[in-house]
Structure 1
């Protein structure tokens, strides 16, 4: 007759089966019944972190460090200290993290030869250099960590070192080399060779690099992989919010804005449950949808929440300034962001810099930004890069007085954006094509382009963009007398704070029809947003 499984056996088994809550319950019970060896205390720390119990995780990792010291295992104690450095700094406890870093270094003083713990200590140091804007120095530390991980056959350390090397390469502007390294490390992750916490860190960091490198194909592939990975661990909190924020960004690109807003808000919920790294992405993506749909005050609040993380919400906040007619502020924001950006982030911001410099009337600065954006491109560049450069080129050429060349560039850009299934950007290409046709005197073609763009913007709910096109098309703002009876009904409901979906239910209309009415209202009243339309309506006695 076999002995029944102990709480420790059950906890270890639950961990291997990814049942984190069961694992935590059993391991805590085993700890209460007779204590745990340090390796299992480390296991409890990992499970607690995965469940979003950050303070408890730090407490258990501290205990594991102390137990290893008692046993004379300084290398394992230093490894625990290295993870404490990473966790604490990620939680904003920088001084405490630095204290643990100093302690770990002291533990390894006098060691003969390298140890795996030494490699783990290089990871937070390399991350610090990346955040400080020195990816070249960070690359050297990550390379050394990879060497040490390979020497000791430590899969987690190898993967983290290679992740850092790839991320550094992308930040330095060597996107192809960096992405190749990141693809390789993802092979280890998807094969299950890496522990859960390093694996989650790698998933999220790789997606960040895909965003910097403007590689939509990889972003789709690895976002889907992250969703599957999170789905196989349903009670996991850590990384789950970041997964949702990444998904929201892709949904915005593809025009599924209502779903993107829901997903970004779900990511916000995961922040409160213990995934603080989702904070910036959740709030920034909410800000993007709210800005694009004309909820400008709400967008400003969302960007402000994103900014509380210490990262500036660009280019979204600069575009918001434009819609709010704060052109000088938009320009200053973008120029400051560009000045402090590493090569990869700078390239990400250049398309917005073109738009904002043109809005400010500085065509020469827009041309300089375009030339920098276009210089490294060729026919085999990533489609998103080509699409952004072609759209920016069309805008600059038009401002420079070359409508024929602008039309050609806008047509090229439209084809790429259409192939990427990015309706908002494709509609922007139609607007530029219409403006180019109008500049050449082809009013019929211009009207056709403007009509197509307006319809697409209205379908998306992009009311500020639709209102701008209606004005370009010659439907000048006329005030109260031009609003139809139906538009007046819609305006009253907008003033009541109802979204398009609720207005559609109230008036028995489709959401697309409501979106068109809202766009027409904004254009006719010469206002940029729903909030501004509400203010106008009260100020001019349209509603009471």
Structure 2
């Protein structure tokens, strides 16, 4: 086959989005006679989409150097901009110090104005957003939008909609930001975005919908991403993240076997070259392992996710909690929440409440709940409302207000049922049962516990099932947390605070706080009285 024939075949395959065939033919043509700048750019795009990141950067760098040699400053600026974007996608931010200023400088010297003047502004706008300046980044994206409109550049306009949306979400303008995201999805559906731009947009905004607890958009945008990937069966880039997002959605829906298969596919596509899935693939796999009780495997998966630029939270802290390492879980989630941006912190707060309740820190749990309750109504979604109702039930129970806890927990159960999220509905049923037990309605409490048990058994949620079984029938313990029950049982054996701490891997100070909480909640004044209470109520 002549190089000319290979080049034509490669161009035709790329036009039809047959990426494997396109890569093979274009690479053959390049190795035989070399490629012109436009075809090197095409080869770079195809290589990127096939998961060959290094090859993509090499081809695009050659296109850039050839453009400089030819005196084509517009092509040189364009390739510099895409090199910066490629390397952001590949997690290599160091080279942006080279390509971003070079692209800006080259664009400023172009004789005839073009949309490239806007494209070179995209990487620095993304970097500005990542550095914690969403307002400045938004101003830059607005300027880019004016250039996109002036030159009727649909791909640049799609990137602007995505960028502006992310900036608005970061500053708390949820409705406006997600409206931009909706417009970005519409642009992709209409074919107004190049393949790499479309992948960036769809993967990012579907992930942001998860962070915002916007289940309706999670479903819609994940379906759009899924359909887009299915149209390109040879696609590697973005395909791993597609499976990771599908795994997260199936976990919510209670299809854990399907979620496991999706997580495995996400890991396989990550190994094949989808850098986008470097965090999402192992993190979603770890989440499923944690809920099923495979704690050792979950820890390893969280560790792999943590090798990226993102912290594997709240999953890792919740794993520590499930393992009984309450103090460590508390330290981790507090550190993560305190250093998080507003969007991420909001996503972490339900786990903060859960862990602080388990640790017996009522004030910290109430403070985290207040953070959830302070979220503006414009940013609320049905799923977020369910999470808040569940968190309210947890805090009210630890405060001893069973009546109000019951109302909140029932609201959560109803909301989860409407959303079709069985595991969370079962967890909220456990809260309902605990509140009913405190109110003396033993039969009704038993019914709720039985319903929750059935769901946990069906899903294979072994840790949740074990926790329910441990606490079933021990309702006279009142508002005590699981950790406080452990401490009370050990107090009843005559152990000192130091000995209890050694047994539970807690500090003596933490044990003393738990003992104080137990005395206060149960109206007791001595360890002897606590021991008698434990035996009288069959807690030991």
Against the structure 1 CA distance between its residues 436 and 377, is the aligned structure 2 distance closer, same or farther, given a 3 Å change threshold? farther
SS in 2 for 1:335: helix
Corresponding residue for 2:214?
215
Q: Tell me if structure 2 keeps the 8 A contact 1:170–1:209.
A: no
In the TM superposition, what is the alpha-carbon distance from 1:117 to its structure 2 partner? Answer: 2.8
Match of 1:246 in 2: 245
Residue 422 (structure 1) shift? 0.8
Distance 2:36 2:388 in 1: 58
Q: CA RMSD in A?
A: 2.2
Q: Name the CA shift for 1:113/1:68 in 2 (closer, same or farther; >3 Å).
A: closer
Offset of 1:7 from its aligned partner?
Answer: 3.2
User: What's the offset of the Cα at 1:208?
Assistant: 1.7
**CA gap 1:9/1:84 in 2 versus in 1, 3 angstroms:** same
Deviation at 1:449, TM superposition (A): 1.2
Pairwise CA distance, 1:392 = 0.7
Gaps of 5+ in 1: 477-526, 528-544
Give the Å deviation of 1:114: 5.9
Contact 2:397 2:405 in 1 (8 A): yes
TM-score (normalizing by structure 1) = 0.83
* Rounded Cα–Cα distance in structure 2 between residues aligned with 1:89 and 1:185: 20
Q: Distance in 2 between matches of 1:94 and 1:381?
A: 34
Q: Give the Å deviation of 1:33.
A: 4.8
User: Contact 1:354 / 1:369 at 8 angstroms: preserved in 2?
Assistant: yes
Residue 334 of structure 1: aligned partner: 333
Partners of 1:183 and 1:133 in 2: how far apart? Answer: 24
Please state if 1:423 is matched with 2:458.
Answer: no
Correspondence 1:382-531 to 2 at 5 A: 382-474=381-473
**Count of residue pairs the alignment pairs up:** 475
SS in 1 for 2:360: coil
Offset at residue 338 of structure 1 (A) = 1.5
Partner of 1:74 in structure 2?
A: 73
State the alpha-carbon separation in 1 of the partners of residues 108 and 169 from structure 2.
34
| Cα contact 1:135–1:168 (8 A) shared by 2 | yes
Aligned to 1:37: 36
Secondary structure at the counterpart of residue 282 of structure 1: helix
TM normalised by structure 2 equals 0.84
Q: Give the CA deviation at 1:28.
A: 3.0
2:86 aligned partner: 87
Q: Which residue in the other structure is 1:48 paired with? A: 47
| 1:106-505 → structure 2 map (5 Å cutoff) | 106-111=105-110, 115-376=114-375, 378=377, 381-474=380-473
CA distance in 1, matches of 2:355, 2:368: 11
Q: Which moved more, 1:121-130 or 1:278-287?
A: 121-130
| Contact map agreement 1:79 1:116 (CA 8 A) in 2 | no
Q: CA deviation at 1:431?
A: 0.4
Q: Distance in 1 between matches of 2:5 and 2:201?
A: 34
Closer/same/farther in 2, CA of residues 265 and 319 from structure 1, 3 Å limit: same
CA contact (8 A) 1:254 1:422 kept: yes
8 Å CA contact retained: 1:251, 1:260: yes
Summarize the Cα distance change of 1:207–1:365 in structure 2 as closer, same or farther, 3 Å threshold. same
Cα-to-partner distance string for 1:118-142 (whole Å, 9 max, x where unaligned): 3223222222223223222222222
**Matched residue SS, 1:433:** helix
The whole-number CA distance in structure 2 between the counterparts of 1:475 and 1:399 is 15
In structure 2, C-alpha distance between the alignment counterparts of 1:74 and 1:97, rounded to whole Å:
19
Mapped partners of 2:312, 2:4: distance in 1: 52
CA distance in 1, matches of 2:83, 2:397: 55
Measured after TM superposition, the shift of residue 156 of structure 1 is: 1.5
1:370-421 superposed Cα distances (whole Å, 9 cap, x missing partner)? 1221234559941101110111111111122211111111111101101111
- CA offsets 1:465-505 (integer angstroms, 9 cap, x no match): 111111221289xxxxxxxxxxxxxxxxxxxxxxxxxxxxx
- Separation in 2 of the partners of 1:332 and 1:5? 62
User: Counterparts of 2:247 and 2:339 in 1: how far apart (Å)?
Assistant: 26
Measured in 2, the distance between the counterparts of 1:318 and 1:95 equals 30
Is the alpha carbon distance of 1:290 and 1:342 closer, same or farther for their aligned partners in structure 2, counting shifts above 3 Å?
same
- Deviation of 1:201 (Å): 0.7
| Structure 2 Cα separation of the partners of residues 101 and 218 of structure 1 | 33
Give the distance between the partners of 1:369 and 1:174, measured in 2 at CA: 22
> Cα deviation per residue 1:56-97 (whole Å; 9 max; x = unaligned)?
111111111122222222122111111111222332433333
Contact 1:170 1:212 in 2 (8 A): no
Whether the aligned pair in 2 keeps the contact of 1:114 and 1:148 (CA below 8 Å) is: no
**Offset, 1:111:** 4.8
Question: How far apart are residue 100 of structure 1 and its match?
Answer: 2.1
Contact 2:4 2:29 in 1 (8 A): no
In 2, the alpha carbon distance for the partners of 1:231 and 1:107 equals: 38
Tell me: CA distance 1:344–1:114, structure 2 relative to 1, closer, same or farther (3 Å): farther
**Cα separation, partners in 2 of 1:107 and 1:84, compared to 1, 3 Å:** same
User: 1:170·1:213 contact (CA, 8 Å) conserved in 2?
Assistant: no
Over 3 Å counting, the alpha-carbon distance change for 1:137 and 1:107 in structure 2 is: same
Deviates more, 1:152-161 or 1:26-35: 26-35
